[in-house]
Amino acid sequence: MIKFTDLGLNPKVLKAVNDVGYETPTPIQAQAIPFALEGRDVLGIAQTGTGKTASFTLPMVHKLARGRARARMPRSLVLCPTRELAAQVAENFELYAKYCKLDMALLIGGVSFKDQDKLIDRGVDVLIATPGRLLDHFERGKLLLTGIEIMVVDEADRMLDMGFIPDIERIFKLTPFTRQTLFFSATMAPEITRITQEFLSNPERVEVARQATASETIEQKVVCFKAPNRKVEAKAKRDMLRKIITDEGDTLTNAIIFCNRKVDVDIVLKSMKKYGASVGAIHGDLDQRYRMEVLSGFKNNDITLLVASDVAARGLDIPNVSHVFNYDVPIHAEDYIHRIGRTGRAGRSGKAFTLCLPHEEKHLVKVEELLKGPIPRAEFDTPVAQDRPTRAKKQDKPKAEVKPVAQQDTKPAAQQNKKPAVQQDKKPEPQERNQRHKKGGGRHQGNQNHVVGLGDHMPAFMLRDIRAGVAAKTETPVEEDSKSKDESAA
């Protein structure tokens, strides 16, 4: 059996590895490290959780122990797709390089440019970065990549999914042609193969397992169920998730719950908090400091459940995760491999449950095609999810029954135990209004039966005669004028 002492690593590196507690390398480490120490380009493909990070960090520390960095010119570069993965790689370098005098800088978003510029100006041996933030520093004139000796692309296929390939190609062109290049990933898409052919020089391909396979230590289950109707599907899925977590009992020490959308991460987080669970969440829209605090709390067992988007699916090394729940079936089949790979790491056992509604079965078919076999089904009683009560619309309110005129009560208001209505001016009848208009010389003189326009609902104030002369005669009648009035009326 090969041990780390057989790989030809620097004694200081071996001492750091021994402090961590590792004695025997994983298959990917045993095969990739010797080629990396020889200075060969390496294309490493292995299942997630098999120790790919140490496969490039150990030989890098070994080779960088000799030499000295210059200001703004890092000697090595590690590109990672997410901030969390970059921070984890930085932690690995701190562990394995603690006996070597190497300086490191972590360039990720959500952190002040000023603090990162200070580290770059001082000179670093190892630069760990996400592509976007690295190019930001380069375009600001704070960074030169002409001194790169070793370049690593971690989780290369994730770079493709996240649209980083144009940035990766640009970064490669900024580095020296004589650099050593290491590519590592759990899957290898055809587009990644094209990149490796363009920028790697006669790489040594190291593949310790068939591409896109899950670890045999992970027990996989799919829970297919159907909600009563589409309106309650989301609630039924949350109820099913809580039911499975409850049924697992003490075997569930901690778990990661993966959602396809960031909005669902927030909804599941609130739902779990409502039912008293110890839960946190991370996704790309959250503040970086908060994300790191939540991730640290999960690693320290201060948080039992971690609800996450696929930002946590790649490369995060949390050794003791007992369960993984796919709240949504991943749209990209490769993401399923990475998600469930957060459990069952380093030879440990783990469980992975996937919740599948009828409209998600098309994605499940693609996952099973990638795995080249069906995933066992688990049977759970579908929780009864009820629609939330909704406010009755105005038109839905029962209308008061209108009695015919012959059946209406004719009793006085006092006898009906009702408050008498407020006395109002009696509305003139249509014929009376017509007479008033005729008398006043209005435009409705010829219409004795109906008022044109507003009809029977014309307000009384619009029927008042406002002519000053007529008003004066009406308000102050005198006896001597009565005869002339009668004559004019006749």
Residues 188 and 117 in one domain: yes
Residues 162 and 230 in one domain: no
Residues 203 and 232 in one domain: no
- Is 420 inside any structural domain? no
**Between 83-96 and 11-20, two packed helices, what is the crossing angle to 10 degrees?**
110
Per-residue pLDDT reduced to its tens digit, 294-334 = 988 998 889 999 999 887 766 567 778 999 999 999 998 88
- Is 379 inside any structural domain? no
Residues 179 and 253 in one domain: no
- Domains held by the chain: number: 3
Residues 222 and 203 in one domain: no
78: left (phi over 0), alpha (psi -120 to 50) or beta: beta
Average pLDDT over residues 197-204: 90
Residues 324 and 239 in one domain: yes
Residues 203 and 229 in one domain: no
Helices (H), 164-206: 165-174, 190-199
Domain with residue 130: its CATH number is 3.40.50.300
Average pLDDT over residues 353-361: 95
**Nearest-angstrom CA–CA distance, 248 and 230:** 28
Give the end of a domain, one of 162, 185, 207. 207
| Model confidence at 177: pLDDT above 60 | yes
Q: Give the range of the structural domain holding residue 304, as residue numbers without chain letter.
A: 218-371
- Is 417 inside any structural domain? no
| Model confidence at 40: pLDDT above 90 | yes
| Model confidence at 49: pLDDT above 70 | no
Residues 41 and 184 in one domain: yes
- Per-residue model confidence (pLDDT) at position 432: 53
DSSP, collapsed to helix, strand or coil, labels residue 462 as helix
- Per-residue model confidence (pLDDT) at position 252: 94
Average pLDDT over residues 244-266: 93
Give the end of a domain, one of 207, 233, 268. 207
- Is 405 inside any structural domain? no
Per-residue pLDDT reduced to its tens digit, 206-234 = 988 665 677 788 999 999 999 888 889 99
- Is 395 inside any structural domain? no
Total residues found in the chain within this entry: 490
**Does the CA dihedral 239-244-247-248 come out positive or negative?**
negative
pLDDT band at 486 (very low <50, low <70, confident <90, very high): very low
Amino acid at 420: P
Residues 116 and 175 in one domain: yes
Residues 307 and 158 in one domain: no
- Is 232 inside any structural domain? yes
Q: What letter would DSSP give residue 347? A: G
- Is 212 inside any structural domain? no
237: left (phi over 0), alpha (psi -120 to 50) or beta: alpha
Residues 58 and 167 in one domain: yes
Residues 203 and 223 in one domain: no
- Is 287 inside any structural domain? yes
Give the end of a domain, one of 333, 352, 371. 371
CB 143 within 8 A of CB 72: yes
Per-residue pLDDT reduced to its tens digit, 364-421 = 999 999 888 999 998 877 665 544 444 444 444 444 454 444 444 444 444 444 444 4
Tell me which of 211 and 290 has the higher pLDDT.
290
pLDDT band at 126 (very low <50, low <70, confident <90, very high): very high
